[in-house]
Amino acid sequence: MSETQGAARSAKRELRRSLLAARDALGADEVRRAARELASRALELPELARARTVAAYVSVGTEPGTLALLDALRARGVRVLLPVLLPDNDLDWGAYAGEDSLTRVRHGGRMALLEPSGPRLGPQAVTDADVVLLPGVAVDARGVRLGRGGGSYDRVLARLERAGAHPALVVLLYDGEVVAHVPDQPHDRPVKAVVTPSGVRRFGGRR
């Protein structure tokens, strides 16, 4: 790894640590209110209005809440795919069939995740998505997303690129997580839009 890339990784870690600490300070009422507002804003997206299949995720802890959005998409007749974390940090996928279909799974010493309990569809299933809703910690004015650092979604985005799939990439964040600059590396791929409780911001960005 070059000195420049090492510096970028270090800067990412510091920014991630700071923003996650701010999330952890949020109260339960703030998290619930933000989730309702986030769902309302996201459902206004034309990309979601047209979508037949959406790859999403189930929020945990103080992440921007997604369950209300998942249920609203399902009520529209949208096929919602949810990730299943594999031992190598890649993602398999399963269909969302309502909150009762989720299973709490703890992977090693990490935070427990809510994953679909139905049949596994394979890592390639994400290539059928019209929209991919991405978790993140921050995004900047270019659409560069800062993830959790595990690399799972880097693999997903690389898989989409190899397959020639071009879903709309949308990250879901809190308002204060739209920042001036996210240190980026060659593998980072910009998103099309960010949805926060207060609105939607779109990016032109590099492709």
Q: What is the pLDDT of residues 42-86, one digit of tens each?
A: 999 999 999 999 999 999 999 999 999 999 999 999 999 999 999
Q: Is the pLDDT of residue 4 over 80?
A: no
Is 171 annotated for ligand binding?
A: no
Residue 159 lies in a domain: yes
Determine how β-strand 79-85 pairs with β-strand 138-139. Answer: unpaired
Does 145 appear as a known binding residue?
yes
33 appears as a binding residue in the annotation: no
The pLDDT assigned to 206 comes to 44
Domain region containing 100: 3-202
Contact status, residue 136 vs residue 71, Cβ threshold 8 Å: no
Query: Cα separation of 65 and 38, whole Å?
Result: 8
Q: What is the residue-averaged pLDDT of the chain?
A: 91
Q: What is the DSSP letter of 109?
A: T
- Do the domain assignments include residue 85? yes
In this structure, the number of other CB atoms found within 10 A of the CB of residue 173 comes to 27
Q: Is residue 207 part of a domain?
A: no
Task: Tell whether 12 is in a known binding site.
Answer: yes
Q: Is 178 annotated as a binding residue?
A: no
Whether this prediction's pTM lies above 0.85 is answered by yes
Does residue 155 belong to any structural domain of this protein? yes
Q: Pairing state of beta strands 138-139 and 145-146?
A: antiparallel
Residue 67 annotated as part of some ligand binding site: no
Could you give the CA distance from residue 15 to residue 183 in angstroms, rounded to a whole number?
Answer: 9
pLDDT of residue 111: 72
User: Is pLDDT of 207 > 50?
Assistant: no
Q: Is 15 annotated as a binding residue?
A: yes
CATH number (domain holding residue 119): 3.40.50.10420
Output the CA–CA distances (angstroms, integers) from residue 38 to 6, 21, 64, 113, in the order listed.
Answer: 34, 20, 8, 20
SS3 73: helix
Is residue 148 part of an annotated ligand binding site? yes
Q: pLDDT tens-digit profile of 104-125?
A: 998 876 678 999 999 999 999 9
109 belongs to an annotated ligand binding site: no
pLDDT of residue 116: 96
Find out whether 58 is annotated in a ligand binding site.
yes
Burial readout 99-114 (b: 16 or more C-beta within 10 A, e: otherwise): eeebeeeeeeeeeebb
**Is 9 marked within a binding site?**
no
Whether 74 has a binding-site annotation, put simply, is no
Nearest of 145, 152, 173 to residue 22 by alpha carbon: 173
Phi/psi of residue 105, nearest 5 degrees:
-125, 130
Query: How do beta strands 168-172 and 193-196 pair?
Result: parallel
- The answer to whether 161 is annotated as binding is no
Does the residue 32 lie in any domain? yes
Confirm or deny that 59 is annotated as ligand binding.
Answer: no
Q: List, in sequence order, every residue forming a beta bridge with 131; answer none if it has no partner.
A: 54, 168
> Looking at the 3D structure of the chain, how many domains does it have?
1
